[in-house]
A and B are shown apart, each in its own frame.
Chain A
Amino acid sequence: MSHIRKQNEYEKTPAFYFFRWLGGEKDAFVGNMEMHPQKEYVEEEATIEERMRDRQQAMTEVYDRAHNKELIFFNKLYKALSVIFCIAIAAVLIYAISYLPSVGEAEKPTNNIVSETYIKDGYKDTGAVNVVTAMILSYRGFDTFGETTVLFIATCCVTIMLMVDKDKIRENKDSNDRGFEPRNDAILQTVASLLVPMVFLFGIYSILNGSMSPGGGFSGGAMIGAGMILYVAAFGFDKMERFFNENIFKIVRVVALSCYGCIILYYILTGAYGMECLLPQGEAGEILSGSVTACTIYALYALFRRGGL
């Protein structure tokens, strides 16, 4: 049985205080604590001089740098030991490398049954000609999903640290970073207008063709992200916002990542029970992880440049 409490009774409960604090109606600390804004530390001329004098005094009189034999000896020993230590580590590493098998040797310990199985059954199991793609997206799809999630979380953290309010961006538009650059640089714009379409095309090609040829989701996405950075550097954020803004970024990131998670889950479930997989393997995962990567790389750049997308 539940009954509705009276208002004045409810106001005494901890839940009321908690929700009032959560809603931001009343800050529990305001009025109850002494709070002062931190003053900016300004160093006076006299204190700087005094500090320099103190330091000089300590160096000459207390430590007696010029004549203290122990200190001089320690400094020389420190330098000599650090050089010896570096050379010793390098020697040990080079000695260890000389025991490694040479590249392409047939009897290498890594040429065992695992890689043989991947190369032999890769096409049959996954339908991808490129063995690297077969490994990354099918045999170790769960790993790749984790990597994409790490990228997503990294962007979230950077956003929390670097994001600036939208109003502030608008206020400081002229005093922004962009003001310190040559605007409408003819060379940069001409080169960018030639290069950006090709970079985009090559990125899309290597995403779509990842199961046939080298390249794939991550490298194709990185290429598209780099192309977007080039476009922004040449033409500015205003033109960029015509086809890529914060809302599109949010939608692409969340939708692509959740679809990717569903596909990986589907692969794992069908694979675990030995069922036949209906989806074409590889392609969809490549496209989704590629779009997440491209967005992430561009977002990092935009956040560093002006604190917002």
Chain B
Amino acid sequence: MQIFNVILLGFLVVCAVSVSFSKNLLNSILIYMSYSLIMSIIWILLESPDLAITEAAVGAGVTSVLFFVTLKKIHALQQAPEEEENDEPYQKTE
């Protein structure tokens, strides 16, 4: 159990550092989501399931969705580099 704790804390540090170093905003949000998930597992190990439920629902779920929507609104979600030259980055599929 001690080893599992140490591994989780190590993941937490790696996630926290790589959020600030990743250049792509989408990647940052995904890493932030995984940070919240690891945090909620740690809350369970610390015997506070109330906080774990809230962290998983709000931190990993709702906050990330709001970040995604904001990024889409300001057109910051870029596609792969070879497709970037198109005038319409978001193609309608109907």
Contact indicator B61/A226 (Cβ below 8 Å)? yes
Given contacts A222-B58, A304-B70, A216 and B50 within 8 Å (CB-CB) = yes
What band does the interface of chain A fall in when counting residues whose beta carbon is under 8 Å from B? 20 to 34
Q: Which of A153-185 contact B (CB under 8 A)?
A: 177, 179-180, 182-183
A239 beta carbon closer than 8 Å to chain B = no
Chain A nearest Cβ from B57, distance in angstroms: 4
Question: Complex formed: what's the CA distance from A219 to B50 in Å?
Answer: 8
Q: Which of B17-72 contact A (CB under 8 A)?
A: 46, 48-50, 52-54, 57-58, 61-62, 65-66, 69-70, 72
Interfacial chain B residues near A223, Cβ < 8 Å? 53, 57
B84 beta carbon closer than 8 Å to chain A = no
Q: Say what secondary structure dominates the interface of chain B.
A: helix
Given contacts A183-B94, A304-B70, A229 and B65 within 8 Å (CB-CB) = yes
> How many A-B pairs with Cβ below 8 Å?
53
Chain A nearest Cβ from B90, distance in angstroms: 4
Contact indicator A214/B49 (Cβ below 8 Å)? yes
Contact indicator A304/B66 (Cβ below 8 Å)? yes
Q: Which of A212-266 contact B (CB under 8 A)?
A: 214-216, 218-219, 222-223, 225-226, 229
21 contacts between A and B (CB under 8 A): A177-B72, A180-B72, A180-B90, A180-B92, A182-B93, A183-B93, A183-B94, A206-B53, A214-B49, A214-B52, A214-B53, A215-B50, A219-B53, A219-B54, A222-B57, A222-B61, A223-B53, A225-B62, A229-B62, A301-B65, A304-B69
Q: Which 9 A-B pairs have the closest CB atoms?
A: A214-B49, A180-B90, A222-B57, A219-B54, A219-B53, A226-B61, A304-B69, A214-B50, A182-B93
